[in-house]
């Protein structure tokens, strides 16, 4: 019954969209790029008025483009413009057309891809713009409706946080390179705990400086940097490592000292800003019910959940899970070259790379820790190492369907007995051995839900998330 109702709704949506098209006489498809845009124009008689047009991504180019279009039709209300959702390149053009009073829509990339495949056309910018014009004319374009307030801000915070994380990683790598050059033994003494490592290296940048250091002062630095985690024992370990170091350099130049201190300051500043942004992101994400729903999904942490919410936006804009797949650029790339065909899971990568990365993060965790997805991954891989990427992509696609369902229905993710019962006995046993229902209410471990054969729900945590259900 629900499938029938969904079919009716989809039919009504299409009819409604097609009715709207009756008010237009001209259709302009635009394929957007960084420096220039290609466009094609058709009339309601299915005739190309412009088949291979293009214009620069400038105000002059925009005005020239409009003059060309208006030379075919002076009534702007009779023209419908359309473009793919492809990152940032079309955003300014979309907003400019909107502000100038033109009718313009964004459409899903898979609309164009499916139509191009149906027509057996190669992928080029000119062909894509023509396909968009034809889709608008035929009423077959899957329209992306505007986002509601709040998602844009959340997206901005997340993307800034991601950019800072990249910069912080780069600065950290530069810092570690200095440590490897001047005092590599520190990395053995402090395999983790970057705060203590930075403090020691900033004051004692060579093994010789440790050997010559005042012992009590060294202990004090260690205690302060590690918040009393380290003390006399770690100081003795440091001295031992310094005396057995291969490094003979006794001192380093003022310029290199400046670089070291500058790197440490930069890392500290970046880490502080990232922490503040993560607090803001969590606070903003809390406003969206979908955020709390996604947190119940195996492997979906706070930042990942917030990213998915921000990139997808209002789920009511979407009518089927495949549109989420398209938005993330996770649909297969069926490109051929000569007699070779991609069979290893290559994807298009069109769409939001942020959404794609977030879903991949969940997929990588789920294929190891969730028995349902683990079994699905194993089935797709089928013991063939060359199909690893294909299998991960398959899990990511399956997750898109789960994510769509959770967000659409505002439902909690539940591992169900009927799904678990389809798996091997060893997999089931592994799951129950690692699922623990007796845990503290204040536990920091992530909680999951399991529905047994009688329909009863059980909250559980994994005994050890690092080892539970790992291949």
Q: What is the mean pLDDT of residues 454-460?
A: 88
Mean pLDDT computed over 219-242:
95
Give the lowest-confidence range in 6-20, 405-419, 452-466.
Answer: 6-20
Q: How confident is the model at residue 284 (pLDDT cuts 50, 70, 90)?
A: very high
pLDDT band, residue 176 (cuts 50/70/90): very high
Domain span(s) for CATH 1.10.287.4070 in the chain: 154-282
**Mean pLDDT lowest among 5-19, 74-88, 283-297, 330-344:** 5-19
pLDDT above 90 coverage of the chain, percent: 52
DSSP 422: T
What confidence score (pLDDT) does residue 118 get?
Answer: 76
What pLDDT band is residue 13 in, cutting at 50, 70 and 90?
A: very low
Percent of all residues in the chain with a pLDDT value above 70, rounded to a whole number: 88
Q: Any idea what the Cα angle at residue 103 is, between residues 102 and 107, rounded to 5°?
A: 130
Distance (Å, rounded) from C-alpha 128 to C-alpha 135?
A: 10
pLDDT computed for residue 149 by the predictor: 61
Averaged pLDDT, 454-458: 89
End-to-end Cα, the chain, rounded Å? 39
* Paired residues of 48 in beta bridges: 42
CB-facing half-sphere around the CA of 394: CA atoms within 13 A? 20
Residue 91 pLDDT: 84
Mean pLDDT of 437-441: 84
Do 278 and 340 touch, CB atoms closer than 8 A? no
- The fold of 2-144 is Nucleotidyltransferase; domain 5 (3.30.420)
Best-predicted range by mean pLDDT among 109-113, 210-214, 418-422? 210-214
Of 16, 41, 19, 20, the C-alpha closest to 29 is 41
pLDDT at 5 over 60: no
Give the per-residue pLDDT at 438.
85
Does 232 score more than 60 pLDDT?
yes
Confidence at residue 34, expressed as pLDDT on a 0 to 100 scale: 85
pLDDT at 427: 83
Residue 319 to residues 271, 314, 316, 345, 398, Cα–Cα distance (Å): 40, 11, 7, 26, 16
Burial class (CB within 10 angstroms; exposed 0-12, middle 13-18, buried 19+) of 17: middle
Give 308-365 pLDDT, tens digit per residue. Answer: 999 999 898 888 898 899 888 887 654 433 333 345 556 666 678 899 999 999 999 9
Hey, what are 254's tokens? 């003022």
For residues 425-451, give the mean pLDDT: 83
7 token code pair: 């079919």
Mean pLDDT is lowest, of 112-116, 333-337, 370-374, 432-436, for 333-337
- pLDDT number for residue 17: 45
pLDDT band at 471 (very low <50, low <70, confident <90, very high): very low
Mean pLDDT value of segment 158-170: 96
User: What was the pLDDT predicted at 441?
Assistant: 81
Task: Give the tens place of pLDDT for each residue, 92-129.
Answer: 899 899 999 999 998 877 778 778 877 787 777 788 88
pLDDT level of residue 89 (50, 70, 90 thresholds): confident
Is the confidence at residue 444, as pLDDT, over 80? no
Q: What is the pLDDT of residues 47-73, one digit of tens each?
A: 999 988 999 999 999 999 999 999 999
User: Is it the case that residue 470 has pLDDT exceeding 80?
Assistant: no
Mention the CATH class of domain 154-282.
Answer: mainly alpha
Mean predicted lDDT score pLDDT of the chain: 85
22-42: pLDDT as tens digits: 589 999 999 888 889 999 999
- Token representation of residue 121: 């056309």
Residue span(s) of the chain under CATH 3.30.420.260 come to 2-144
Q: Are 74 and 25 in contact (CB under 8 A)?
A: no
**Average pLDDT over every residue of 262-278:** 96
Global pTM exceeds 0.85: no
């Amino acid at each position: 019954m629900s499938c029938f109702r969904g079919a009716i709704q989809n039919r009504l949506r299409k009819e409604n969209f097609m009715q709207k098209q009756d008010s237009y006489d001209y259709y302009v498809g635009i394929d957007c790029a960084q420096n220039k845009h290609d466009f094609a124009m058709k009339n309601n008689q299915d005739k190309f008025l412009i088949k291979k047009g293009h214009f620069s991504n400038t105000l002059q180019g925009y005005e020239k483009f409009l003059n060309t279009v208006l030379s075919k039709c002076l009534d702007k209300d009779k023209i419908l413009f359309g473009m793919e959702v492809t990152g940032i390149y079309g955003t300014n053009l979309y907003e400019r057309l909107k502000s100038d009073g033109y009718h313009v829509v964004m459409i899903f990339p898979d609309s164009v891809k499916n139509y191009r495949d149906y027509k057996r056309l190669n992928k080029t910018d000119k062909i894509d713009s023509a396909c968009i014009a034809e889709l608008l004319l035929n009423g077959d374009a899957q329209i992306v409706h505007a986002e509601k307030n709040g998602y844009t801000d959340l997206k901005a915070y997340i993307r800034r946080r991601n950019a800072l994380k990249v910069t912080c990683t780069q600065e950290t790598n530069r810092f570690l390179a200095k440590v490897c050059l001047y005092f590599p033994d520190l990395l053995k003494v402090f395999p983790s705990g970057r705060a203590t490592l930075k403090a020691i290296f900033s004051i004692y940048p060579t093994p010789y400086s440790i050997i010559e250091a005042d012992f009590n002062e060294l202990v004090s630095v260690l205690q302060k940097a590690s918040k009393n985690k380290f003390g006399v024992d770690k100081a003795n370990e440091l001295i031992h490592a310094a005396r057995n170091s291969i490094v003979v350099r006794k001192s380093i130049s003022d310029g290199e000292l400046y670089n070291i201190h500058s790197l440490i300051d930069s890392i500290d500043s970046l880490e502080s800003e990232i922490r503040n942004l993560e607090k803001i992101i969590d606070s903003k994400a809390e406003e969206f019910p979908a955020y709390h729903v996604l947190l119940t999904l195996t492997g979906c942490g706070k930042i990942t959940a917030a990213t998915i919410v921000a990139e997808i936006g209002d789920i009511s804009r979407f009518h089927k899970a495949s549109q989420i797949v398209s938005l993330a650029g996770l649909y297969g790339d069926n490109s051929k070259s000569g007699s070779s065909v991609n069979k290893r899971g290559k994807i298009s990568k069109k769409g939001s790379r942020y959404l794609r990365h977030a879903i991949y993060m969940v997929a990588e965790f789920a294929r190891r820790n969730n028995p349902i997805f683990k079994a699905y991954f194993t089935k797709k891989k089928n013991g063939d190492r060359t199909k690893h990427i294909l299998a991960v992509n398959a899990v990511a696609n399956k997750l898109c369907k789960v994510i769509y369902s959770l967000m659409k229905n505002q439902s909690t993710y539940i591992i169900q007995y009927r799904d678990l019962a389809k798996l091997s006995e060893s997999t089931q046993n592994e799951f129950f051995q690692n699922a623990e229902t007796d845990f503290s209410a204040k536990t920091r471990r992530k909680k999951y839900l399991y529905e047994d054969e009688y329909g009863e729900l059980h909250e559980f945590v994994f005994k050890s998330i690092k080892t539970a259900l790992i291949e």
